[in-house]
């Protein structure tokens, strides 16, 4: 069953990485919200950090849309669900507009998602030191792929009003709907994975408010809203995989999700799949809390455990509680930073060794250099809490650590065959200890919705096995 949905929408793309599309997106979200519009926010690609800025600016959770980890139907369904009731949807791109998984196609690119969503594109360009050349940039992007409608341009890092007028006088094929002057006082803080999480400690509200005010002053918001409203009706499958599962409304289990400054990398779509299957999500903090909530399973996402190694290691009550949960057969699923937390210890760049949960044998060693980056495809070699052997799914890696001093006593299985998307030899990963499964891979369950179902079922089975017979 196909339904037509009228969803005003715009993609904020860029000529390349580092030209300011996240800042432009956050500024636009803030300005639109200040106008009284209800805004839905999205991020193209696997990035976890940019959505935290969207959430602060828009006041709603931001959802990832990924052309490689999700197929077209899943992208459109996720977009339609998350934008329901919104006045306008703003979708931040990734890298350059046409950058993709291959040098000759658009698979996984912002352009692909713009076509799937039939959405007009706002192109952010670094205009510092540029005058008439802006017309050449606009001509290239306007004509490169006629199926992508690049409808407006935002010129970032302009020298002032006169510079912006000069750029418009060059008569680019893409109309310039505004620009931003450089403003170091409002710069967002960064670390090795890029931007810091946009909590109130890292990103004071004055920065977000400041960019929102600049957008209202420097952008033609009326023109941008008109472009978003020019998007045609979107054809949406009336029954997506998640919507079908929504009918199972009764509570089936409770899953504790580690969420604090050390763990906060989660795809909202993954959590929604668990909720739709009858799982209640219960957040807890491995840094602050001294005991686990009453739950049937634990989910540790990625984050920065190395940055909070002292705090995590010193909370021995929580570490003991997690070890006990695992020893009693509790279900634990962990990704990247979560894997690091479950190992014997984390060795930070200064050489310090911080004891952790000691469930997955080995020590995670931090490195200055990036150790893995890119999409991967996983196939399991054995039954696990994510389903039977030969279960397949897609995910992403972005890490600065390796698991060293690994187990030599046979206490742990590696049950993943991991194939990198962009070449490189497949390798074994996916560390299983009883009902614990941990990996460096951030999985997106839209690539195989059965994973969420399997995890909920595993939590129910493990709980029932621990309960004495009536």
Catalytic residue among 44, 336, 364, 459: 336
pLDDT at site 141? 98
pLDDT of 289 over the 50 cut: yes
User: Residue 86, CB half-sphere, CA atoms under 13 Å: how many?
Assistant: 29
| pLDDT value at residue 373 | 86
Q: Is the pLDDT of residue 383 over 90?
A: yes
Question: Are 266 and 224 in the same domain?
Answer: no
- CA-based angle 142:148:154, to the nearest 5? 55
Same domain for 282 and 401 = yes
- Stretch 166-188: mean pLDDT: 90
> Does residue 197 have a pLDDT over 80?
no
Tokens of 39: 């805004």
Residue 255 sits in the same domain as residue 230: no
Domain termination site, one of 180, 208, 237: 237
Condensed to tens digits (0 to 9), the pLDDT of residues 51-96 reads 888 999 999 999 999 999 999 999 999 999 999 999 999 999 999 9
Q: Say if residue 232 is in the same domain as residue 249.
A: no
CA distance 145 to 179: 24
Q: What's the distance, Cα to Cα, between the start and end of the chain in Å? A: 45
- The rounded distance, in Å, linking the Cα atoms of 29 and 49 is 16
Give me the mean pLDDT over the 141-148 stretch.
97
Asked if residue 240 has pLDDT above 60, the reply is no
Q: Kindly indicate the confidence band of residue 103, based on its pLDDT and cuts at 50, 70 and 90.
A: confident
Q: Give me the mean pLDDT over the 354-377 stretch.
A: 93
- Residues 154, 174: contact at Cβ < 8 Å? no
Quickly tell me which residue has 């369950």 as its tokens.
445
User: If 0-12 CB within 10 Å is exposed, 13-18 middle and 19+ buried, where does residue 323 land?
Assistant: middle
Residue 406 domain boundaries = 245-466
Residue 370: CB atoms within 10 Å:
12
Least confident of 198-212, 235-249, 275-289: 235-249
Same domain, residue pair 149 and 215: yes
Say if residue 426 is in the same domain as residue 285. Answer: yes
What's 179's domain CATH number? Answer: 3.40.50.300
Exposed e or buried b per residue across 348-361, where buried means at least 16 C-beta atoms within 10 angstroms of its C-beta = beeeeebbbbebbb
Does residue 236 have a pLDDT over 60?
A: yes
One domain, residues 273 and 194: no
Q: Are residues 304 and 199 in the same domain?
A: no
CATH of residue 447's domain is 3.40.50.880
User: Do 117 and 9 form a contact (C-beta atoms < 8 A)?
Assistant: yes
pLDDT score at 185: 75
Residue that terminates a domain, selected from 237, 254, 272: 237
Domain end call among 237, 255, 288: 237
Q: Which two tokens stand for residue 273?
A: 């799949």
Tell me what the mean pLDDT of segment 175-186 comes to. 88
**What is the percent of the chain where pLDDT is above 90?**
80
Q: Is the pLDDT of residue 389 over 90?
A: yes
The pLDDT assigned to 181 comes to 93
Is the predicted pLDDT of residue 192 greater than 50, yes or no? no
Do residues 99 and 123 share a domain?
Answer: yes
* Cβ atoms within 10 Å of 230's Cβ, excluding its own: 14
Q: For residue 148, is pLDDT > 80?
A: yes
Same domain, 309 and 368: yes
Mean pLDDT, rounded, for 266-292: 96
| Average of per-residue pLDDT across 123-139 | 97
Q: How many domains does the chain have?
A: 2
Q: Reply yes or no on whether the pLDDT at 194 is more than 60.
A: no
Tell how strand 392-399 and strand 372-380 pair up: antiparallel
Span of 17-21, 166-170, 341-345 with lowest mean pLDDT: 17-21
161 and 198: one domain? yes
Distance of alpha carbon 48 from alpha carbon 339, whole angstroms? 17
Give the C-alpha distances (Å, rounded to integers) separating 162 from 59, 169, 224.
34, 10, 22
The mean pLDDT of the chain is 91
Per-residue pLDDT band for 470 (boundaries 50, 70, 90) equals: low
Are residues 185 and 79 located together in one domain of the fold?
yes
Tell me whether residue 155 is one of the annotated catalytic residues: no
């Amino acid at each position: 069953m196909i339904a037509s949905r009228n969803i005003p929408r715009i993609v904020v793309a860029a000529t390349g990485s580092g030209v300011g599309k996240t800042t432009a997106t956050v500024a636009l979200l803030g300005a639109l919200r200040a106008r009284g519009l209800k805004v839905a926010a999205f991020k193209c690609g696997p990035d976890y950090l940019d959505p935290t800025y969207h959430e602060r600016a828009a006041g709603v959770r931001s959802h990832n849309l990924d052309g490689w980890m999700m197929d077209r139907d899943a992208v459109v369904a996720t977009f339609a669900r998350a934008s329901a009731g919104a006045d306008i949807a703003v979708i931040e791109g990734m890298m350059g507009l046409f950058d993709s998984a291959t040098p000759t196609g658009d698979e996984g690119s912002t352009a692909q998602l713009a076509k799937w969503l039939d959405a007009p594109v706002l192109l952010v360009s670094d205009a510092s030191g540029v005058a008439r050349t802006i017309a050449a940039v606009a001509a290239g992007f306007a004509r490169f792929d006629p199926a992508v409608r690049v409808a407006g341009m935002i010129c970032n890092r302009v020298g002032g009003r006169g510079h912006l007028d000069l750029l418009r006088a060059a008569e680019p094929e893409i109309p310039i709907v505004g620009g931003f002057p450089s403003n170091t006082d409002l710069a967002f803080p960064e670390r090795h994975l890029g931007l810091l999480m946009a909590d109130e400690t890292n990103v004071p509200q004055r920065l977000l408010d400041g960019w929102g005010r600049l957008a209202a002053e420097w952008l033609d918001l009326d023109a941008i809203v008109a472009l978003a409203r020019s998007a045609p009706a979107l054809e949406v499958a009336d029954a997506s995989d998640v919507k079908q599962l929504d009918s199972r409304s009764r509570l089936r289990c409770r899953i504790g999700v580690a969420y604090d400054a050390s763990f906060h990398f989660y795809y909202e779509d993954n959590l929604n799949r668990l909720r739709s299957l009858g799982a209640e999500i219960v957040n807890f903090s491995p840094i602050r809390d001294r005991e686990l909530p009453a739950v049937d399973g634990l989910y540790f996402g990625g984050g920065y455990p190395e940055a909070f190694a002292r705090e995590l290691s010193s909370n021995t009550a929580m570490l003991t509680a997690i070890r006990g949960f695992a020893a009693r057969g509790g279900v634990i699923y962990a990704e990247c930073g979560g894997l690091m937390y479950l190992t014997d210890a984390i060795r930070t760049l200064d050489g310090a060794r911080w004891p952790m949960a000691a469930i997955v044998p080995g020590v995670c060693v931090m490195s200055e250099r990036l150790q893995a980056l890119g999409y991967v495809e996983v196939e399991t070699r054995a039954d696990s809490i994510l389903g039977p052997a030969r279960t397949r799914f897609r995910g992403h890696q972005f890490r600065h650590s390796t698991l060293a001093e690994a187990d030599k006593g046979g206490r742990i299985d590696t049950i993943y065959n991991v194939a990198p998307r962009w070449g490189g030899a497949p390798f074994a990963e996916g560390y299983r200890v009883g009902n614990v499964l941990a990996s460096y891979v951030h999985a997106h369950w839209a690539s195989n919705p059965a994973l969420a179902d399997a995890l909920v079922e595993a939590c129910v089975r493990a709980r029932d096995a621990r309960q004495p017979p009536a």
